[in-house]
Structure 1
């Protein structure tokens, strides 16, 4: 794809013919995968997202093995893919919208995304990532025109950030291990009491989802928004920003757009993916064997996984883009590309669908389904996303939220119908 000439007037949005189809395909994979990653958070109390014993009646054997598979292949990976893609998108936008006018246009675009993210958090789902990506993007934005090796900078930053997060979780996990192997000390009793208090908070939140009205649930999320923003600071700084920088670097190096460049990195991509998966598999099996002690599980889920996910995501990004480029004319890649072109609408739409299935005031399935049963819901969501994207884009130029975002960004109304 040729780089467009600098704009003499206001920058224009990317035309359909200028899209990088392989990135749309990977974006489609990521938006489907994020539903699988989030399904437990939609259906259960927060702790069940990473801790199988929080499931109703405790975890069954199938729950534990499905947790392991998701831990190795999905959790944190879709979020990482989205961050890399988002960084590539920032770089692509910066190529097309040059100068101060382009910088302000992209800042306005990200500011609107932040507003969408806050609304999504309050109205639909407290696991929102849009606000996080918008804030991270605004921080990355001023550096896009600097001569930096973004991929190397992002990789070093990501690994240091993952080490910092792992160290934060290690101390409690170590106390827990010592309490099991020797007599529990006062430090461990204090940590255990803190977890029981947190678990009680999660149970209270779950009760609102079970028996509250929609207004009750939305009010609870609104009250949680400031603390969510505070918690997101660490997440933004140690994970999202460095992965976005890597995305900028990979795009500018041609790894996401040039098949010849990707071929040179294919072996390294496989090494990164398999090394990350191997570390996660060994770690997950160890946690399972010990019966999912809470702090060791958290250390595995957020600490070890934070380190192993970096090479996994980078390898997956290169390999998936390579496959997408070769398979772009096939029916599967075509469907995934359509879902990727509507990733914003699909992401928010699945939050709406899951809320209607699980919350007590609607479908009432909250806290009732095990992981195997939730896979059926995920497959239903995937089928709807793939079908809806194809039907919608056959009639309209953009997804509904993509169109609204464009209109607000450029502050003019674009034609929607074909």
Structure 2
């Protein structure tokens, strides 16, 4: 009898690990804003904090090159990871259905705990839900994966457009309430600052309320379509051999140029649109976001081809090796980022929420990157798995990982 067990290191696709590490580190550039400032400042830079000089430059760079791009790349890699996971089980004569769902169940539980007890911006819950729903697609053709993936993304875009259209029919009271979320009043901002710099117990009700919203309405309105579509595209890319050296240098170069021209074109147009309309609710909250919604997918595809080309040509090999260590411990490193950042910004730690400017946030990000790059290599020099990866694998296979 064969017993299901984790994938051996010799069977790992190290390019996936490197790109995953790259994506995970890049995600923190945007997440740090959500840790350090009121939520409104994430999409509306005029809602809170200084938006001049170096702080404005930092926000502009992070928006153009990072906002939604690295999360999109990470979502694609998660889809590719599901495909690889299931294929490996099939190769070993195992039926992947039960093991996959057990794996997603534990990820769902980890995400639920993370969202309600540590940080409401969790994405693990959404990944697990999409993993439950989209499991059967790992056996589908490349053409089907691309078609359904793009269709899901289009549905998400359509919901944003419908919401934009509905703004004209909202009552004055409804518009005021919506605007208070987009550009909070001084009183609401002070209340948020007091809550986040208070005790953990004081933050719990606010955090769990936001977490429930993201895990229900947020998932149905946005997460399923966006993340689910990107996961299917990631499966298609894996089957096309993007992560296993199937593309030539010429193919990579042409696709990088194509994706970047479209992706950065949409993003920059949307940025100019929002600036021209002074970040108003009616123009920027939904319609202004849609340009980056589209552009970020193309930029993420460009990043994927860039990294695949770098790895294929063995450029920056030392950097790619270090990123692979980070990627192999992506679960642990993701939760570690939340623990460290909440300890810095929330009241149970240093209580710096709302008092750290955007350029200072980047300094914190660089320090965390250094710790995770060095720490991941040191840990994996002595252990086969990251600590949370070890727990997750043990629960998935119902056996102690060796």
TM-score exceeds 0.5: yes
Q: Is 2:164–2:287's contact at 8 Å kept on the other side of the alignment? A: no
Alpha-carbon distance, 1:158 to partner: 4.4
Q: Over the residues paired in the alignment, what is the CA RMSD in angstroms? A: 2.3
Give the structure 1 partner of residue 12 of structure 2: 19
CA distance in 2, matches of 1:63, 1:157: 37
CA distance in 2, matches of 1:14, 1:301: 43
Bigger drift between 28-37 and 154-163 goes to 154-163
Alpha-carbon distance, 1:253 to partner: 1.5
CA distance in 2, matches of 1:167, 1:215: 38
Q: Is 1:150–1:246's contact at 8 Å kept on the other side of the alignment? A: no
Structure 1 residues 197 and 54: CA distance shift in structure 2, 3 A: closer
Gaps of 5+ in 1: 1-7, 176-185
Q: Is 2:156–2:221's contact at 8 Å kept on the other side of the alignment? A: no
- Tell me how many residue pairs correspond in the alignment: 395
Cα distance per residue 1:301-341 (max 9 Å; x no partner)? 63221112222222221222221333377221111111111
Equivalences for 1:9-408 in 2 at 5 Å? Answer: 9-56=2-49, 58-98=50-90, 101-147=95-141, 149-171=143-165, 189-198=172-181, 199=184, 204-210=191-197, 212-230=198-216, 231-260=218-247, 263-299=250-286, 302-327=289-314, 330-408=317-395
Q: Is 2:274–2:288's contact at 8 Å kept on the other side of the alignment? A: no
What secondary structure sits across from 2:18 in the alignment? helix
Q: Is 2:311–2:320's contact at 8 Å kept on the other side of the alignment? A: yes
Give the structure 2 partner of residue 179 of structure 1: none
Alpha-carbon distance, 1:286 to partner: 3.2
Structure 1 residues 263 and 107: CA distance shift in structure 2, 3 A: farther
What secondary structure sits across from 1:149 in the alignment? helix
Alpha-carbon distance, 1:263 to partner: 4.4
Q: Is 2:196–2:346's contact at 8 Å kept on the other side of the alignment? A: yes
Structure 1 residues 150 and 24: CA distance shift in structure 2, 3 A: farther
Structure 1 residues 218 and 350: CA distance shift in structure 2, 3 A: same
CA distance in 1, matches of 2:375, 2:252: 35
TM-score, normalised on structure 2? 0.91
TM-score, normalised on structure 1? 0.87
